[in-house]
Amino acid sequence: MALVTDTLQRRDGRKGRGSASRNRARNGGPRIGSHIFLLILVIYFITPLWWLTVASTKDTAGLFGGSGGPLWFDDEFHFFSNLQGLFERQDGIYWRWLGNSFLYAISGGVGATILAVLAGYGFAKYNFRGRAAFFGILLGAVMVPLTALVIPTFVLLSSVGLVNTIWAVILPSLLSPFGVYLMRVFAQEAVPDELLDAARIDGAGEIRTFFQIALPLLRPAIVTVLLLSVVGTWNNFFLPLAVLSDPLLLPVTVGLNGWQALSNAGSGGEALWNLITTGAFISIIPLIIAFLSLQKYWQGGLSLGSLK
Amino acid sequence: MATTTAPTSSQPAPAPQQARHRPDRNYRRKQRWGWLFVAPFALIFLTFLILPLVYAFRMSLFTSTLATGTKFVGADNYLKAFSDPIFLQGLGTVAKFALIMIPAQMLVALVAALVLDNLATWASKFSRLMIFIPYAVPVVIGALMWGFLYSPRFGPASSIFSIFGLAAPEFLAQDNIFGSLVNIVTWQWAGYYMIIIYAALRGIDPGIYEAAVLDGASDRQIALRIKVPMISSSLVMVVIFALIGTLQFFTEPQVLKGVAQGAIPVSYTPNMYAFTLAFSYSQFNYASAISFALGIVVFVFSFIFLFLTRKQSGLK
Q: Tell me the per-residue pLDDT of B164-195, one tens digit each, with 9 for 90 and over.
A: 877 778 888 888 899 999 999 999 999 999 98
Give the Cα separation of B290 and B292 in Å (integer).
Answer: 5
- With H, G, I as helix, E, B as strand and everything else as coil, classify residue A61: helix
Q: Is B304 on the interface with A (CB under 8 A)?
A: no
Q: What is the mean pLDDT of residues B42-71?
A: 87
Q: What is the structure's pLDDT at B74?
A: 83
Nearest CA in chain A to B152: A64
Burial A241-274 (b: 16+ CB within 10 A, else e): bbbbeeeebbbbbbbbbebbeebbeeeebeebbb
Give the Cα separation of B64 and B70 in Å (integer).
Answer: 4
Asked if A148 lies within 8 A of B47 by C-beta distance, the reply is no
Radius of gyration of chain B (CA): 25
Shortest distance, CA B100 to any CA of chain A (angstroms)? 19
Q: Which of A23, A34, A45, A98 to mutate to test the interface with B (most CBs of B within 10 A)?
A: A45
Confidence band (pLDDT; 50, 70, 90) for B224?
Answer: confident
Q: How far is CA A193 from CA A187, A197, B14, in A?
A: 10, 6, 16
For the domain A90-306, what is the CATH code? 1.10.3720.10
Q: What is the structure's pLDDT at B21?
A: 52
- Please give the torsion angle defined by the CA atoms of residues B194, B196, B198 and B199, in that order, rounded to the nearest 10 degrees: 160
Asked if A126 lies within 8 A of B15 by C-beta distance, the reply is no
pLDDT at B69 over 80: no
Asked if A231 lies within 8 A of B132 by C-beta distance, the reply is no
Q: Which of B140, B240, B247 to mutate to test the interface with A (most CBs of A within 10 A)?
A: B140
Burial B232-249 (b: 16+ CB within 10 A, else e): bbbbbbbbbbbbbbbbbb
Shortest distance, CA A152 to any CA of chain B (angstroms)? 5
Interface of A with B in 257-286 (CB under 8 A): 257, 260-261, 264-265, 273, 276-277, 280, 283-284
Residue B148: list chain A partners with CB under 8 A: 51, 55, 277
Nearest CA in chain B to A184: B38
Instruction: Note whether A201 and A281 are within 8 A (CB).
Output: no
**Whose CA is closest to B182, among B241, B240, B106?**
B106
Residue A261: list chain B partners with CB under 8 A: 258
Indicate the angle between helix axes B177-202 and B232-247, nearest 10 degrees.
150
Q: How far is CA B201 from CA A89, A273, B309, in A?
A: 49, 43, 19
Give the Cα separation of B199 and B202 in Å (integer).
Answer: 5
Instruction: Note whether B238 and B196 are within 8 A (CB).
Output: yes
- With H, G, I as helix, E, B as strand and everything else as coil, classify residue B216: coil
Asked if B48 lies within 8 A of A261 by C-beta distance, the reply is no
Asked if A300 lies within 8 A of B31 by C-beta distance, the reply is no
Residues 6+ apart with CB under 8 A from B154: A55, A63, A64, A70, A273, B148
Q: Which of A9, A104, A149, A273 to mutate to test the interface with B (most CBs of B within 10 A)?
A: A149
Give the Cα separation of A265 and A263 in Å (integer).
Answer: 5
Give the Cα separation of B184 and A44 in Å (integer).
Answer: 11
Enumerate the domain spans of chain A: 2-83, 90-306
Q: Would you give the DSSP letter of residue A89?
A: G
DSSP string of B59-126? HHTEEEETTTEEEE-TTHHHHHHTT-HHHHHHHHHHHHHHHHHHHHHHHHHHHHHHHHHT--SHHHHH
Asked if A144 lies within 8 A of B49 by C-beta distance, the reply is yes
Q: Give start and end residues of each alpha helix (H) in chain A.
A: 2-18, 28-55, 60-65, 79-88, 93-125, 131-142, 150-159, 167-173, 177-190, 193-201, 206-209, 215-217, 219-235, 238-243, 252-265, 273-293, 295-301
User: How much of chain B, in percent, has pLDDT values that exceed 70?
Assistant: 90
pLDDT truncated to tens, each residue of chain A (308 aa)? Answer: 333 333 333 333 333 333 333 344 344 456 888 889 999 999 999 999 999 998 888 887 777 776 667 778 777 788 888 888 888 888 889 999 999 999 999 999 999 999 999 999 999 988 888 888 898 888 888 878 777 888 889 989 999 999 999 999 999 999 999 899 889 988 888 888 888 888 888 888 888 889 988 899 898 889 889 988 998 899 889 999 999 999 999 999 999 998 888 887 765 555 688 888 999 999 999 989 988 888 777 766 666 655 43
Give the Cα separation of A244 and B301 in Å (integer).
Answer: 32
